[in-house]
Structures are given as C-alpha cells and as structure tokens.
Structure 1
C-alpha cells in the first residue's frame, strides 16, 4: 500500500479487514465484518479478532478505516482502484461514457484477476462481480471504438475479453465484429473458426448460427 508519505506494509492479520472494508462504499456493521472474516469460533472471538486487526493497522500507522462503536468504513480521502474500474465499466455499460472512457484503465488487468489466491466466499463473489462487469464493459468499449474508427484499439479491447474468458460468445462476437467492420473477412473467418473448434472441443456444441454473417460463411 502506498501513501503520500511512502510505502507502508499492511500487517498480515489486517489485510483482509482492510480489503473487505475498502471494497464497500458504505458503512458496514462491525458484526457483519467480523462474521464474514472470522466465521469460525463464535461472535465473541470474531469481535476480538476484529479489534486486534484494527489495532495492528493503527500500530503500523495505517489510519484508513473510520471506525466507531457500531460500524466501519473507508476514510473519505482514500481512493480505491477497483471502484474506479467499476465506475468506468458502468458508464460504458449504461451508454453514458465520455471520451476519456475510451481508454482502458491502467489497473484493469489487476481488477480482472481481483484478489488471486483468496477463496473466502465474499472474495470470490466480489471477484466474479468485477470480472463480469469488466467483461461487459470491454465488449461495449470495443463497439464504441469501432464506431469511432479506432479499429486497433477495438481489437485490443475485444481480445482482452476473449483472453479472460475464451468460451464467452459475446466477447468472440465483439472481436469478429471488429474484423468485419475493417472488412478483414479472412481475420473474421479465422476468429470464428478458432472459436468453433474451441466450443466443439470443450463443450461438444456449436456457436450460434448468426455469429458469422452469411457473406463470410460462404
């Protein structure tokens, strides 16, 4: 973690607490935090673990959590990269994106693989939420870039979605659409054939019949 005064190491026993609170945009009840992070051992033990984790943060000079007797929240002055990615994705998905949103956030790759190695239920759910949101945004971004005539960037956006989830047909469709918009029929056909082989091998199925226009299938 980096602050204005330099880099500080978050105590191991407090990392999950800081992340759990940081991922939320509102106050969270202490008992909810304690129960999610320390589900084994009863409420009293979980509350004690929460107090210890908060104490370790203060001891390390990391004063980022605003805590009162009943609840916790991240301090107002703290920025969270995942929130920035989520806001960017929502603007694209809701068709309210501005010109600056046509550039992928630098932290997008990290957001697509949020909290690797963390397998608690809350972490898995948050990882999947951000992943799905970002994938939809990448597909929308690719199409907006096509409309702007920025084909190379559109390919990059579609390929990022495809690389994250190769079996995702909507991502493959976005990639094929870029190639066809550039009138690169061979590239479109090649992308379709690669996807068809993957679906046959992995799922024993066929892509949607309308994935590749008749003009290219012929």
Structure 2
C-alpha cells in the first residue's frame, strides 16, 4: 500500500495527478493548470515530487498483479537522455507484446544486461527463449544467467535467438515510451529518470490491459494497483 502520511492533499487528487502525468503528454506546468481547474492548487515542483516518490511503488505493486506472461521473450534497450548524457533503458516483452520488465542503466554491457535479466526472471519466471538483436553484451548477459541457473541446480537453459526481424515487436513497443519522454524537458537525475520511467511503463501496461480487473477506467485501475492508501 502507498502511504500518504504528511501529504496535505486528498489521496485521489495525488494519484490522479501522478496517473495523468505518466499516461499523457503534459508538462508539470500544464498539469498544474489542469489540477487548478479541478479545484486543487498545487505547485508543479510538488507534482514532480509526487511522480518521483510514488511511481516506483506503484511499479513494484504492478509486477505482482500482472497477468501471467508467455515464455518467449523479446528484449532490447533504447536510449534515454539523463543529465545531458545518453543512458540505456532495458525493456522486455513477451511474444504477445505484454510488458515483462524494465530497468534504466548508465551502461550497456554484460553486467547491466545480466542484472536486467535477473530482475526480469525474478518477477516473471524462467523463459524458454529470449530474442535479442546482434548485441554481444545481451548475449553475454544471457550466458551469465544460464551459468547462475546451472549453479543452483536448475536444468532449464534459456535459448538465445538473435533475430532483428523477430525483435521488431519490442522496437515498435519502444514508441510509447519515447513519445512520452520526448515531450519532457529532460531528466535532471538518474533517480528521477528511473522513477518516472517506471511509472510510464505501468501506464503503458494499463493501456495494454495487462491487469485482471473490473475497473471502469485507467485511473481507477491505477488506484487499484496502488492499493489502499494510508494517510
């Protein structure tokens, strides 16, 4: 559950602002005006703090509520500019296009790839195969994960498939993230970038209808994922 202790605004107003910013191409100043039109006076800097604080919490809860995914994965990374430098946003989807996991990294190398795969496996189980492009770092990351699995007595070995054609699925899926990030003024820190991207991914998963729910709107589902808020 998300704790809103110390927050002087109604819980629905906080979650509405966070959800709206993550889902739609608005700036914090635009959102400040939108909230004011709904009777909530809140500074754009406060809105930024809400997004950075609550997005990772909602993302963590979303992983536990996600529908079961398929065992054939597509993995790739895209570029995100943070503090004037290009960083790497690792992402994976299954062959149906459902988002599996995501992770921002300062580097694109074997340890980063292995760390991402370990994170994805911990929340989605062991896939039968992972489709990647020609990246040597990603292939090395899968080999590293297979060694770890073997060390723990797991007989399952993840198959590596290198195919740019099959990987078009995730490359196309990058577009939602890139479109949302492209309208921002840029990230000022790794922490804020990672937190905001986590939230954008959850908004994307809601758009894909990846959660079993009877919620009547994307916002209500966002609140449902966030859980009962504690004041």
Q: TM-score range with shorter-chain normalisation?
A: 0.3 to 0.5
More strand by share: 2
Output the TM-score relative to the length of structure 2.
0.31
More helix by share: 1
Q: Which has the larger radius of gyration?
A: 1
